Amino acid sequence: MKIYTFFILAIITIACSNNDDESTEIQQPNSNYVIPTGKTFEWRLDSLTNNYTTTADVIDIDAFSATPELVANLKTQGKTVIAYLSVGSVENYRPDASDFPQGVIGNEYDGYPDEKWLDIREIELLAPIMEARFNMVKSKGFDGIEPDNMNGYQNNTGFDISEEDAIAYSRWLIGQAHSRGLSMGQKNSEELIPSLYDEFDWILTEDAFVDEFYEELTPFISAGKAVFLVEYTDRISSGDFQTQVCPNAISRNYSAVLKNRDLTNVTFYCN
């Protein structure tokens, strides 16, 4: 009996000792919607035919232009299909653009004359429009959502939007996605990672290596969640991508790609 008790205590001691190192170990995802690490990624916002194929495990395509047939075709290939959707701006060419109340429409998005920032503090006013969009995404058969333009707090939106506002809106969006069985990723907004990495299901970043915030993405990896690292050819060459970005990405278990900024069929993967 004494020997048996000794072994029980030893096991408990080892378990407690392991818990002390928990912050440095990769934890298992605790959500049904998580995209795990190690998945290859493609991002296409141009028009794709319904019989389009890709070698990537995960593909991100436009929510509005994608047809249910295209989504079904990609899922038949075993792909995880993500819907690109702006949640922080209104694009005047979208079919629901006129549904946004004028009071939530702010300044023009710098460099994009057809797009204006939204006042994400007004969740009650935005809710019917965003819920309709999420219903569309679900009806087309998508697996998840890439919510673009969450970083209004970093920009001249015309509204006094704070990081706390972005966190509150993000949590509302995550809840709406999960209630429909959809995965929800974080898009850029690296300042929000400490507050939200355990709630978002994966993250997609742009220029994280060039802008030197790629080290801030590691909490997602520690939580077993994918980091999709996208760099652009207008800021780094394909050669430098292979020699500088890829070694860092591979060592950190990030999924890195180099794209043209128009997000068409130019894609460089790490060798």
Give the tens place of pLDDT for each residue, 212-252: 999 999 999 999 999 999 999 999 999 999 999 999 999 99
The mean per-residue pLDDT over the stretch 109-113 comes to: 96
E strand or H helix at 174: helix 163-179
- Greater confidence (117 vs 8) lies with 117
Ordered structural domains, the chain, with CATH: 37-269 (3.20.20.70)
Largest CA-CA distance found in the chain, in angstroms, rounded: 78
* Contact of 189 with 146, CB cutoff 8 Å: no
pTM of the model: 0.88
Q: What is the CA radius of gyration of the chain?
A: 20
CA atoms of 32 and 92, how far apart (whole Å): 34
Sheet strand arrangement including 58-62: 41-44, 58-62, 80-86, 144-148, 183-184
Categorize the per-residue pLDDT at 32 as very low, low, confident or very high, splitting at 50, 70 and 90: confident
Q: What is the pLDDT of residue 37?
A: 97
Q: Which two three-digit tokens encode residue 84?
A: 């690109």
Name beta bridge partners: 229.
205, 256
Could you read off the pLDDT of 139-154 as tens digits, one per residue? 999 999 999 999 999 9
Tally of residues, the chain? 271
